[in-house]
Amino acid sequence: MRFLHHPFHALGGPCSLQLHAADAAQLQRAAAAAEAEVRRIETKYSRYREDSVLSRINASAGDAQGVTVDAETAALLDYATAAHEQSEGLFDASSGVLRRAWDFKAKQLPQQAQLDALLPLVGWQRLLWQSPRIVLPLRGMELDFGGFGKEYAADRAAAVLQAAGIRHALVELGGDIRVLGPQPDGAPWRIGIRHPRAPESAIATVELVGGAIASSGDYERYFERDGRRYSHILDPRTGWPVESYAGISVLAEQCLVAGTATTIALLKGREGRDWLQELGLPWLLIDAAGKLEGSLARA
Amino acid sequence: MAAIKNSKALAALTHAALALPGVAAAEVQTDYLYSFYQEKDTPGSQTSSGQSVERYQIHSHMFRAVMPMGENTLGANLTYETMSGASPWWVQPDTNGKPVNVMSGASIRDERVDLQGTWSLPIEPFQAAFSLGYSAEDDYEALNGGAELELRDDERGLTWTGGLGYSDDQLKPEHGTSSPNVIDSESKSTLTLYGGAAMVLNAATVVQANINYQRGDGFLSDPYKLAWIGGSTVADSRPDGRQSWALSGKLRHHLASSNAAIHVDYRYFHDDWEIDAHTLEVAWHQVLPDQWRITPALRWYSQSQAFFYAPYYQAARSDGFASSDYRLSPYGAVSARLDVSKALENLALGAGVEWYDADGSYALKSVDVANPGLVEYLSFQARITYRF
């Protein structure tokens, strides 16, 4: 059994594939195909590329005719709709416009007037989605697949590896992980969960023989001002960051579902804990003091 | 690990995630369909013997598996059917000149096995699909193949489809009490060409138009049927070529307020045997809570007769053709269908029932003499889909 570690940079962060197979050429082929799949999704749903499907949708904002989308995009929009419903409106792929007011690099607090001007453009319920046609009724509305594109890419990369005959692999895209089978000797993959306040060290270790784990927290993008921490976890109803846990990890069959559950739980703030318990997937919460709580079995 | 409570939120998210291409890629989808088709007995008033006769029934089992492999999708279909019962052998006049059936007797019992394979893959800029199939009965063998290309024009909301199919059929009829003088073996071939376009009109409405051309060559008669000419019977005899054209239009309209969709389909058919046919179908797809769906549908059909058809003949035609097959007769038909389905996490269940009745009175133009062999049937279907 041979092993290949294939690191690359995509989706705005470090990515890596770890795979085992009998044949070195097969490993190379499979890794190249999986990386190509991640890049395909990045290109297709990039906000920064004018020719992307997402840019085409966003460019149509204000046009009552909207645009028609392909089957894959349609399924992603259906997914975003389901996540919006199940989160009672908190998970909102149209909330990206709030970025225009929040500049995490400049560490600037927005004016309430800025947010008030943007909030009418936020709201999944405002757009008209009837497959295969999507209409963003107001000029200035935009969609952003950042909330689930990376997780979807992890699932797709794993599917590509599996189709290439790989039975033992770990896909990591910017901290979200999907594994394919155990390691060749049957041992589980050991996955370290980042300490929210010391990102280079692991606060817990989880063992996986299949499925996915997604993690998110207030440590990914934030700034501190006047002793308060302003994170990227913005409530689409108010435009302000949610006071939430420092870190949340959720384990699921699909990375997409794990990632969405993590995001919704963060957006729920202090109610996130009860929501996760109700959801039924294994979960782990880390509070600002580094205290752990949850049903996720730690190794 | 915590006990999986399988909450509604988790089921909804998982369901939406699995609908994405490739997220369930590792998963193979399998289906099993069972259907039972039963024609109503032919009443004694329409048979030469004066006795009512039990007609055709078909039990059908279909297994299907679809397996995505990267950008390729492979599919396989296996159908096994058993048919039994009597069907009209020929039609003759009774003492009043009214046409009555002479039935074949309940001697027909046959099995059919059909295996189809499909392969679809992207061939830029198209999505292509290829199929190959083999079908066998005791007295019948057919090989078919097909290719289809689909092109999407997302800018204009158009999807173009074009394809062709070819089938090569061998008939080796069996000699029996209802077929003493049947031909030994014959063959026929069928070529089909089709094309269409679907267009998104607005967020709630899609229209589709299709054109279909079919050409059959070879032995197109029914080897088991006879025609009555002036007191004696001859073998069913039809032209050895048939060309047909069909135009169809479909409308799909979603009604967001009632979470339902209405489907309206119309098809016009014409062939060089001079049959003109119209089909109109209206279906209402109602989405209900908890992944239930119910679909009632109504269909109406009407056709004119083939130029050489007659219920029976007083004298032979100069071209030598003769057929009293009810499928070539002038008639109309109505059918009502009800289908219910329920989706669970990895499982989907469905069942449907259809009632169909063919009669001269349903036809667009008045039918002087309806064929006594026109069928009324009930069919029942149950299906289960599992993804793993």
Of B154 and A109, more confident = A109
Burial of B100 (0-12, 13-18, 19+ CB in 10 A): buried
Predicted local confidence at residue B3, as pLDDT: 37
Q: Dihedral (C-alpha) B91, B94, B97, B101: value to the nearest 10 degrees? A: -20
Task: Give pLDDT tens digits for B172-200.
Answer: 887 766 666 677 789 999 999 999 998 87
Is A78 in the B-facing interface, judged by CB distances under 8 Å?
yes
- Cβ contacts (< 8 Å) between A252 and chain B: which residues? 14
Instruction: Measure B26 CA to nearest chain A CA, in Å.
Output: 6
B22 touches chain A (CB under 8 A): yes
Q: Does B203 touch chain A (CB under 8 A)?
A: yes
Contacting residues of A for B157, CB less than 8 Å apart:
68, 132-133
Give yes or no for residue B128 having a pLDDT over 50: yes
Assess whether pLDDT exceeds 50 at residue B2: no
Specify which residues A13 forms β-bridges with: A10
Q: Report whether B216 contacts B190 (CB < 8 A).
A: yes
**Residue in the block written with tokens 């009324």:** B376
- Cβ B25 vs Cβ A162: under 8 Å: yes
- B204 touching chain A per CB within 8 A: yes
For residue A146, what are its two tokens? 């950042």
Helices (H) and strands (E) in chain B, counts: 1, 20
Residues 6+ apart with CB under 8 A from B278: B266, B267, B268, B269, B300, B301, B302, B303, B364
Q: Is A51 on the interface with B (CB under 8 A)?
A: no
pLDDT score of B1 more than 50: no
Please tell me which residue of chain B has the smallest CA distance to A152: B23
- Coil, strand or helix: which one is A131? coil
> In this predicted model, what pLDDT tens digit does every residue of B37-56 receive, in sequence order?
999 988 888 888 888 888 88
Which one of B15, B20, B121 makes the best mutation probe of the A interface by having the most chain A beta carbons within 10 Å? B20
B25·A82 Cβ contact <8 A: no
The tens-digit pLDDT sequence of chain A (299 residues) is: 899 999 999 988 899 999 999 888 889 999 999 999 999 999 899 888 888 899 999 999 988 888 988 889 999 999 999 999 999 999 999 998 988 888 877 778 888 888 898 999 999 999 999 888 999 999 999 999 988 999 999 999 999 998 888 989 999 998 899 999 889 888 899 999 988 888 778 888 999 988 999 998 877 777 777 777 787 888 999 998 888 888 999 999 999 999 999 999 999 998 999 999 999 899 999 988 889 999 887 77
CB contact at 8 A, A41 and A156: yes
- Kindly give, in sequence order, each residue whose CB lies less than 8 Å from that of residue B170, ignoring residues fewer than 6 positions away: B140, B141, B142, B185, B186, B187
For residue A103, what is the DSSP state?
B
pLDDT digits (tens, 9 = 90+) for B319-360: 999 999 999 999 999 999 999 998 776 788 999 999 999 999
Whole-number pLDDT of residue B52: 84
Task: Name beta bridge partners: B208.
Answer: B198, B250
Q: Specify the pLDDT at position B5.
A: 44
Considering only CB atoms, which chain B residues are within 8 Å of A67? 154
Please tell me the distance from the alpha carbon of residue A186 to that of residue A207, in angstroms, as a whole number. 12
Contact B1 A297 (CB under 8 A): yes
Element (H, E) at B122: strand B108-123
CB of A206 within 8 Å of any CB in chain B? no
E strand map for A167-225? 168-173, 176-180, 189-195, 198-208, 211-217, 222-225
Q: How far, in Å, CA of B347 to CA of B11, rounded?
A: 12
Residue in the block written with tokens 């003088």: B181
Specify whether the CB–CB gap between B304 and B288 falls below 8 A: no
* Nearest CA-CA partner of A12 in A167, A111, A150: A150
Taking a contact as any Cβ pair under 8 Å apart, which residues of chain A between 130 and 169 contact chain B?
130, 132-135, 152, 155-156, 158-160, 162-164
| CA-based nearest residue in chain B for residue A211 | B23
Q: Which residues of A touch B20 (CB under 8 A)?
A: 72, 75-76, 79, 152, 155, 256
Dist. CA B255–CA B345, nearest whole Å: 26
CB spacing of A278 vs B7 below 8 angstroms: yes
Measured between CB atoms, does A86 come within 8 Å of chain B? yes
Q: Does A274 touch chain B (CB under 8 A)?
A: no
Q: Is pLDDT larger for residue B60 or for residue A49? A: B60
Instruction: Return the amino acid letter for B165.
Output: G
Cβ-defined contact of B10 to A280 (cutoff 8 Å) = yes
Q: CA nearest A83: which of B17, B246, B355, B231? A: B17
Sort out which chain A residues have CB atoms less than 8 A from B285's CB and list them. none
Tokens 């307020």, residue located: B257
Nearest to A79 by CA among B24, B71, B340, B69: B24
B203 vs A contacts (CB less than 8 Å): 66, 128-130, 133-135
Q: Three-state DSSP class for A38?
A: helix
Closest to A75 (Cβ–Cβ): which among B8, B20, B26? B20
| Interchain contact, A68 vs B69, CB within 8 Å | no
Q: Is B315 on the interface with A (CB under 8 A)?
A: no
pLDDT digits (tens, 9 = 90+) for B89-120: 899 999 888 999 998 865 667 899 999 999 99
Contact A133 B200 (CB under 8 A): yes
From residue B67, give the alpha-carbon distance in Å to each of A72, B71, B79, B344.
17, 11, 18, 20
A-chain residues within 8 Å CB-CB of B73? Answer: none
Picking from A67, A254, A296, the nearest residue to B17 by CB comes out as A254
Q: From residue B308, how far is each of A7, B313, B319 by CA, in Å?
A: 74, 10, 9
CA distance A148 to chain B (A): 11
Nearest to A162 among B17, B25, B202 (CB): B25
Mutate to test the interface with A, among B7, B13, B262 (most CBs of A within 10 A): B13
Quote the ipTM score. 0.88
A261 in contact with B at a CB cutoff of 8 Å? yes
CA distances from A264 to A244, A257, A261, B248, B357 (A): 11, 10, 5, 47, 54
Q: Could you tell me the two tokens for A37?
A: 């799949």
Mean per-residue pLDDT of chain B:
89
pTM score over 0.80: no
**Tokens (6 digits) for B333:** 């038909």
User: In A, which residues are within 8 Å of B70 by CB distance?
Assistant: 33, 160, 163-164
Q: Which two tokens stand for residue B84?
A: 């039994």
- Give residue B50's pLDDT: 84
Give the range among A112-116, B4-8, B73-77, B274-278 with minimum mean pLDDT: B4-8
Which chain B residues in 352-381 lie under 8 Å from chain A, judged by CB atoms? none
Between chains, do B13 and A86 touch, taking CB under 8 Å as contact?
Answer: yes
